[in-house]
């Protein structure tokens, strides 16, 4: 496992230092700019609290959504700062830019233990371009840089990568926790190691399947992506969602990893995409003409349960059906209950925005060994790719 420089390093002097903390507080906002889910703020708290306790001057950085290099009023950090203030029990002042003389003056006036939040980094196009001069302007604001934004660490952006050319750099507590949980599962999994993959598209998960097939004992596949596999076996999938241009790859994967990949044996078929649709549980190869498969069926839940019950390491990414519609949430909820019940006996890791929403819907939040805040970042790690935000923390200091 890569050793990251840690903010817990006892030789690191934090008191009175200006610490720039890149967080992943990319919270969902509604049309009025209100925060609709504060998970990503909650996850940022341990590092912030650690630094407050050590009397650092804390300057938080984040992006919100995709403003595309210009100011978008509804994507300002103001409401995030207010929410964070409430959760932290301490005022967090939002600044109205992330670089420049006004920002520098505001930081100069800070006292130890105080916290400010810089304006949305993506209001500047240079952020996503990993522009080194912009990174230098950010770095100039502080004494030390801390990356705590695991969910953005697959992005080679200025506040994630180039900034480490200019300032001493460390990993925050969330980043450390995420990397440890995910890499330990991949590098030294207790066996049996079972992976559950669902979600909309097989194209997002081809690299993950290829990499994990070398490491895992079984990969259980559900979600809409199962239909691309069924199609490759010659089944009529009716109106189910599948990717015609990935059928050949699905066929290759099944041929190459036939002892590892486990497909559902039955599905909940519906005559249309609606909660009040006519439904029938059918064998995977028997979807009625014009109908669509929207969940895995009860026999598949049993099959997956038998594969999972003795597992010692479990990684799950992607819902197994259209869990947003109650009628098609049973498969996902059953597997969520099963995996959460195994926590303790097995090291259970879940991730991906939809998987976390499904788990919340099932009332099982907090019942897994690790819930990753990173969707794309988690998948890239599972694919075996290096994350630019992490690579930037392991290069030798200049
Ligand atoms: P992803 O973003 O790839 O994790 O995909 C999540 C989405 O996949 C969710 O919105 C689910 O509703 C959807 N999904 C899962 N199973 C199916 C299915 N059988 N048919 C259509 N969509 C599905």
Question: Which atom of ligand 1 is closest in space to residue 322's alpha carbon?
Answer: 12
Q: Which of 333, 321, 316 is nearest to 372 (CA)?
A: 316
pLDDT at 115: 98
Domain boundary among 155, 176, 197: 176
* Same domain for 157 and 39: yes
* Same domain for 261 and 352: yes
Question: Which atom of ligand 1 is closest in space to residue 205's alpha carbon?
Answer: 3
Rounded mean pLDDT of 323-333?
97
pLDDT at 168: 97
Range of the structural domain that residue 143 is part of? 18-176
pLDDT tens-digit map of 181-239: 999 999 999 999 999 999 999 998 999 999 999 999 999 999 999 999 999 999 999 99
Contacts 24+ apart (CB under 8 A), 30-39: 31/74, 32/74, 33/73, 33/74, 33/75, 33/76, 33/78, 33/79, 34/79, 35/79, 35/80, 35/83, 38/83, 38/87, 39/356, 39/373
* Same domain for 193 and 170: no
Rounded mean pLDDT of 130-150?
98
Using alpha carbons only, what angle is made at residue 208 by residues 287 and 68, rounded to the nearest 5 degrees? 100
Confidence category of residue 398, pLDDT binned at 50, 70, 90: very low
pLDDT at 389: 97
pLDDT at 36: 85
Phi, psi of 347 (to 5 degrees): -85, 115
* Same domain for 44 and 164: yes
| CATH number of the domain to which 170 belongs | 3.40.50.1260
User: Beta strands of the chain (E only): which ranges?
Assistant: 18-22, 57-61, 92-94, 115-117, 144-147, 169-171, 193-197, 218-221, 261-262, 266-270, 279-283, 292-296, 313-317, 347-351, 370-371
Contacts 24+ apart (CB under 8 A), 188-192: 189/215, 189/216, 189/312, 189/313, 189/347, 190/312, 190/313, 190/346, 190/347, 191/217, 191/312, 191/313, 192/217, 192/218, 192/310, 192/311, 192/312, 192/313
Pocket residues: Cβ below 6 A from ligand 1:
198-201, 204, 223-224, 241, 293-294, 318-319, 321-322, 324, 352, 354
pLDDT at 396: 64
Confidence category of residue 379, pLDDT binned at 50, 70, 90: very high
Confidence category of residue 35, pLDDT binned at 50, 70, 90: confident
Question: Which atom of ligand 1 is closest in space to residue 323's alpha carbon?
Answer: 12
Q: Is residue 97 part of a domain?
A: yes
Low-confidence winner among 63-72, 199-208, 328-337, 388-397 (lowest mean pLDDT): 388-397
* Same domain for 196 and 83: no
* Same domain for 134 and 103: yes
Q: Is residue 2 part of a domain?
A: no
Q: Is the pLDDT of residue 397 over 70?
A: no
Q: Is residue 110 part of a domain?
A: yes
Q: Is the pLDDT of residue 31 over 90?
A: no
The residue whose C-alpha atom lies closest to atom 4 belonging to ligand 1 is 199
Q: Is residue 396 part of a domain?
A: no
* Same domain for 130 and 26: yes
Q: Is residue 345 part of a domain?
A: yes
Count of domains observed in the chain: 2
Confidence category of residue 353, pLDDT binned at 50, 70, 90: confident
Q: Is residue 398 part of a domain?
A: no
Q: Which of 327, 320, 317, 329 is nearest to 362 (CA)?
A: 329
* Same domain for 375 and 234: yes
Confidence category of residue 30, pLDDT binned at 50, 70, 90: confident
Give the mutation target among 224, 242, 291, 318 for probing the ligand 1 site: most ligand atoms within 8 A of CB.
224
pLDDT tens-digit map of 5-21: 999 999 999 999 999 99
Across 140-159, b (16+ Cβ under 10 Å) vs e yields ebbbbbbbbbbbbbbbbbbb
* Same domain for 250 and 158: no
Please tell me the distance from the alpha carbon of residue 332 to that of residue 178, in angstroms, as a whole number.
24
> Mean pLDDT score of the chain, rounded to an integer?
96
pLDDT tens-digit map of 58-104: 999 999 999 999 999 999 999 999 999 999 999 999 999 999 999 99
Is the pTM of the predicted complex or chain greater than 0.75? yes
* Same domain for 114 and 61: yes
Please tell me the distance from the alpha carbon of residue 383 to that of residue 318, in angstroms, as a whole number.
15
* Same domain for 66 and 143: yes
Q: Is residue 181 part of a domain?
A: no
Q: Is the pLDDT of residue 152 over 60?
A: yes
Q: Is residue 372 part of a domain?
A: yes
Q: What percent of the chain has pLDDT over 90?
A: 93
Q: Which of 98, 76, 90 is nearest to 21 (CA)?
A: 98
* Same domain for 195 and 116: no
Q: Is the pLDDT of residue 373 over 50?
A: yes
Q: Which of 74, 116, 118, 80 is nearest to 98 (CA)?
A: 118
pLDDT at 19: 98
């Amino acid at each position: 496992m890569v050793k990251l420089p840690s903010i817990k390093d006892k030789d690191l002097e934090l008191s009175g230092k200006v610490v720039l903390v890149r967080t992943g507080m990319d919270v969902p906002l509604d049309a009025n700019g209100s925060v609709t889910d504060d998970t990503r703020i909650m996850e940022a708290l341990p590092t912030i609290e650690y630094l407050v306790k050590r009397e650092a001057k804390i300057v938080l950085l984040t992006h919100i959504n995709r403003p595309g290099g210009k100011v978008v009023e509804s994507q300002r950090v103001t409401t995030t700062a207010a929410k964070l203030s409430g959760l932290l029990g301490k005022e967090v002042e939002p600044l109205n830019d992330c670089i420049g003389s006004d920002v520098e003056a505001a930081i100069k006036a800070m006292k130890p233990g105080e916290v400010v939040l810089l304006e949305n980094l993506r209001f500047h196009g240079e952020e996503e371009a990993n522009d080194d001069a912009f990174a230098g302007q950010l770095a100039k604001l502080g004494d030390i840089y801390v990356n705590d934004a695991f969910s953005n660490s697959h992005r080679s952006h200025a506040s994630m990568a180039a900034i480490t050319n200019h300032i001493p750099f460390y990993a925050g507590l969330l980043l450390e926790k995420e990397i440890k949980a995910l890499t330990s599962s991949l590098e030294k999994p207790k066996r049996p190691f079972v992976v559950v993959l669902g979600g909309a598209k097989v194209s997002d998960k081809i690299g993950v399947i290829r990499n994990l097939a070398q490491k895992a004992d079984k990969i259980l596949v559900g979600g809409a992506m199962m239909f691309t596999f069924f199609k490759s076996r010659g089944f009529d999938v009716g109106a189910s969602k599948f990717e015609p241009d990935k059928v050949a790859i699905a066929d290759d994967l099944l041929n190459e990893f036939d002892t590892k990949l486990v497909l559902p044996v039955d599905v909940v078929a519906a005559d249309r995409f609606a909660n009040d649709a006519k439904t029938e549980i059918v064998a995977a190869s028997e979807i009625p003409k014009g109908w669509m498969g929207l969940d895995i069926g009860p026999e598949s839940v049993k099959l997956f349960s038998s594969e999972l019950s003795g597992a010692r390491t479990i990684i799950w990414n992607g819902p197994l059906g259209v869990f947003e519609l109650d009628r098609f949430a049973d498969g996902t909820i059953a597997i969520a209950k099963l995996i959460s019940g195994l926590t303790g006996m097995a090291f259970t890791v879940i991730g991906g925005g939809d998987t976390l929403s499904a788990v919340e819907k099932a009332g099982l939040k907090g019942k897994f060994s690790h819930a990753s805040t990173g969707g794309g970042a988690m998948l890239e790690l599972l694919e075996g790719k290096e994350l630019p935000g992490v690579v930037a923390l392991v290069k030798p200091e200049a």
